[in-house]
A = this chain, B = another copy of it.
Amino acid sequence: MDVLLNEDEEMIRDGVRRFFDAECSPDRVRGIEDGGARTDPELWRQLAELGWLGLALPSVYGGGEAPFTQLTVLFEEAGRALAPVPLHPHVVTALALAEAVGRGECGPLAATLVSEACVGDSLLTWAWSERLPGMGPETIELSATADGNGWRLNGHKGMVEAFEIAGHCLVAARTQTGGSANGGLTLLLVAPNAPGVSAVARRTLAGDFQSEVHFDNVYVDGDGLVGRVDEGWDLARPMLQRAMVLNCAMIVGATRRAAERAFDYAKERHAFGHPIGSFQAIQHTCADMITWVDGAELLTREAAWHIAQGSDAGLAAAAAKAFTNERCQAVLREANQIHGGYAQVREYDQQLWYRRAAAWSMRLGTSMEHRRAVAQALEL
């Protein structure tokens, strides 16, 4: 037991932070947003070259085969830097493909995509949720009906990241209805430019885009199958857990930076003849901020550790996400309050962290949903 970062993890943290400090300034982040770009291709290339896209992927495909805990540290730093690249959907999808490949439960396409994912040649994303805000398997209604060697997809997905620029999208579809909510799901790889696919990109609070994707009789052939038919939940469940933990890591990284900026501001800014950071009310607020973000970080890291151990992280990931969503928003709120009016102004940088961390906390399941999962896991 030692919950602090070990040497390898510290090395990742320091290396990634150094890189982003040098390469990913707030101006660069702002530029991508203002230009309406979906990604920063140069930054993406660098991340691929440094081996970070494949950090936790199997070495046979060119990955770094690092434990999930190290990947979590990488994501904390990416969140801290607000890296304007679709790291999250790419890595989440690649890990799911790699798991299917490892189990021998998919064709050659998935293995190829994992190899390409490590070097950034193919951008991957995934599509899960549909109409309701929930993330449970019962929300999946997109239908996949068998057609020869493949399937026909009909329906829609609600919030897909980086869809238009992705090479492939891993889509959760329902191949069977009427059974349990967990049963009858199948994961299929779809090319965004396949006939019958249409997408509308929607600008978010974070300044990036999420797409609403419609599937109108879209054909997916047998090679697009990932995992076993009707048993997609076996792969989806750990995929969702990893997605939640990496999302939490990004929120925590960005929120910690937003808090640190507020602490610095409190030291410099004067009011009533003193630095505002000398007032008890501000000091106590700052104490709460660091306590909350630390709590979110520890919950997130513990969930990551469970995943790295290969044990089920359902309870730990849900707890981390439920707590992180709400408490990190509270930290951001207090950071804004310390900045006063400047927190509101676009040309000051504080809002870059605020908007992104807040928007991320609205993705991948609400606090209420994750608390429902916690209660269930506690056998209440």
Interface residues of A (CB under 8 A from B): 279-281, 284
5 CB < 8 A contacts A-B: A279-B280, A280-B280, A280-B281, A281-B281, A281-B284
Q: How far is the CB of A179 from chain B (nearest CB, A)?
A: 32
Bound-state Cα–Cα, A284 to B280, Å = 10
Closest 5 CB pairs of A and B: A280-B280, A280-B281, A281-B284, A279-B280, A281-B281
Bound-state Cα–Cα, A280 to B272, Å = 14
Q: How far is the CB of A164 from chain B (nearest CB, A)?
A: 37
Residues of B within 8 A of A280 (CB): 279-281
Bound-state Cα–Cα, A279 to B284, Å = 12
Residues of B within 8 A of A279 (CB): 280
Q: How far is the CB of A283 from chain B (nearest CB, A)?
A: 9
How many copies the complex holds: the figure is 2
Bound-state Cα–Cα, A279 to B281, Å = 9
Bound-state Cα–Cα, A341 to B281, Å = 23
Residues of B within 8 A of A281 (CB): 280-281, 284
Bound-state Cα–Cα, A281 to B281, Å = 6
Bound-state Cα–Cα, A280 to B280, Å = 6
Specify the chain B residue showing the minimal Cβ separation from A282: B280
Residues of B within 8 A of A284 (CB): 281
Specify the chain B residue showing the minimal Cβ separation from A284: B281
Bound-state Cα–Cα, A41 to B279, Å = 53
Q: How far is the CB of A295 from chain B (nearest CB, A)?
A: 21
Q: How far is the CB of A153 from chain B (nearest CB, A)?
A: 35
Q: How far is the CB of A278 from chain B (nearest CB, A)?
A: 10
Specify the chain B residue showing the minimal Cβ separation from A280: B280
Bound-state Cα–Cα, A149 to B224, Å = 79
Q: How far is the CB of A253 from chain B (nearest CB, A)?
A: 30
Bound-state Cα–Cα, A279 to B283, Å = 12
Bound-state Cα–Cα, A279 to B280, Å = 8
Bound-state Cα–Cα, A284 to B279, Å = 12
Q: How far is the CB of A17 from chain B (nearest CB, A)?
A: 34
Q: How far is the CB of A258 from chain B (nearest CB, A)?
A: 23
Q: How far is the CB of A9 from chain B (nearest CB, A)?
A: 37
Bound-state Cα–Cα, A284 to B281, Å = 8
Bound-state Cα–Cα, A20 to B115, Å = 82
Q: How far is the CB of A291 from chain B (nearest CB, A)?
A: 15
Bound-state Cα–Cα, A280 to B277, Å = 13
Bound-state Cα–Cα, A279 to B279, Å = 10
Bound-state Cα–Cα, A122 to B281, Å = 55
Bound-state Cα–Cα, A185 to B252, Å = 55
Bound-state Cα–Cα, A66 to B250, Å = 62
Q: How far is the CB of A138 from chain B (nearest CB, A)?
A: 22
Specify the chain B residue showing the minimal Cβ separation from A281: B280
